[in-house]
Amino acid sequence: MKQALAATALLCIAQLSSAAATEPAVPQSVIYVIGDGMGMEYITAYRHFADDPTTDELEDTLFDRYFVGTSATHPHEHGLVTDSAAGATALSAGIKTYNGAIAVDVDKQPVETLLERAKKLGYSTGMVSTSQINHATPASFAAHVDSRQKYDDIADQYLDNRIDGKPWVDVLIGGGEQYFKRDNRDLVAGFTALGYHYADDFASLDSIEKAPALALLAPKGLPFAIDQPPANRLAVMTAKALALLPKNKPFFLLVEASEIDWCGHANDIACAMAEMRDAEETLKVVGNYVAGHRDTVMVMTADHSTGGLSMGANGEYEWRASVVRGVTASANELARQLKDAGSDWQQTWLELTGIALTSEQHNTIARQVKASRRASTETEKNAAKTELRATLLSAIDRASVTGWTTSGHTGGDVPVFAAGVNAEQFAGHQDNTAIAQKLFTRLHPAQ
């Protein structure tokens, strides 16, 4: 009897497998979100930063709800610490390459990316980024150069590389206008000649009603979320991209929360947490979209972590999220406003941070504010600003008990989040190349 049941079960499985093999594959829309520099420690710190201090419970964030696994980040080289270009190429093409490489292999040969495969299969495509749209991460999905520093070449490729006479990316939203409107070439004019609707600020972005579209909302990267509204600018741009992409065929959309990394490089904890909040708002937009649309998968991860952030420092077993919540400007903006305030700098400091200074900190900042105001040459101004910024960040870190180990990247594993069709495929630990390889299997010819 048992043998008969087993035989029947095997027959059913075989029949189901055969039926599945003969059914046409359904093309899936893919939303790929990359939190640049967003290591595990950022997820933990943000959980406490976003916590409601009026309750005893430590509330989950959206990151917690969508968390499914982790990813290794090492590049092809033996150094084990990746940059954004090699990390993004692993996530876009499923291969390991050298630091600085934009969608090329170790021999500097172009490799096919997810966005390119999707476009060949008839998908609509889009890229959204808070950095310049031709920065390392988005570039690794839509360009091929041997060095991430070739910003003009990358921007040129966005217009010049075409399929069926049209650029590979239907919707481009981010910063970087200075690379697209240059003395030697006006790429914006080239895009608009091909029918792209153009926006150079959020007001005009709102007026664009259909793709193709190009929006360059800052000369380079967008202002930090903590410094200039809208604080949820990535969420706004992502919602716009989703609205613009046609609904009659599948799409591939890359979204990059770029400036988590930039704040990490600066060792600026308040700046980083504001970027994390925008990333969570973006995850909310994407999660709601996926919940309402069948045949869509969302994967979010990071290319690496940045800064060696630690909750707790100098032997203190504490991290004061309340202090971080009270800081309302990046270190760059703090330094600018304190300089402008002159002798009234302490009142400005208290208004923007709420942090009481020691007498030593007070005297140091007073001296540095004076030096900033007296600086005459660009060299002197930059040196004075750098020195003042470092002191202000040190005061914030000391008050919040925040630690940092580097101004660069670190080599630890990063989180993976997923939702939608067969999201469990991304569960557990995997190499970053495996995420791309799995997503390639989701792409099928559009009907």
Active site residues: 84
The span from the CA of 236 to the CA of 256, in Å, is 13
Question: CA geometry: angle at 186 spanning 181 and 187, to 5°?
Answer: 90
List, in sequence order, every beta strand (DSSP E) within 90-143.
124-132
Please provide the DSSP assignment of 215-261 as one string.
EE-SSSSPPPTTTSS-TTHHHHHHHHHHHHS-SSS-EEEEEEETHHH
**Torsion (CA) 239, 242, 243, 249 in degrees, nearest 10:** -170
**Interatomic CA distance for residues 75 and 96, integer angstroms:** 6
User: Strand, coil or helix: what is 18?
Assistant: helix
Q: Smallest Cα–Cα separation from 336: which of 380, 378, 381, 379?
A: 381
**Interstrand relation of 251-257 and 213-216 (parallel, antiparallel or unpaired):** unpaired
Contact at 8 Å (CB) between 71 and 413?
Answer: yes
Report the first-to-last Cα separation within the chain, whole angstroms. Answer: 46
Cβ–Cβ < 8 Å for 115, 168: yes
- Which residues 6+ apart lie within 8 Å of 179 measured at CB? 132, 134, 151, 152, 154, 155, 187
Strands 29-35, 296-301: parallel, antiparallel or unpaired by DSSP? parallel
Q: Which residues contact 373 (CB under 8 A, 6 or more apart)?
A: 339, 342
Pairing assessment for the beta strands 409-410 and 305-306 based on DSSP bridges: antiparallel
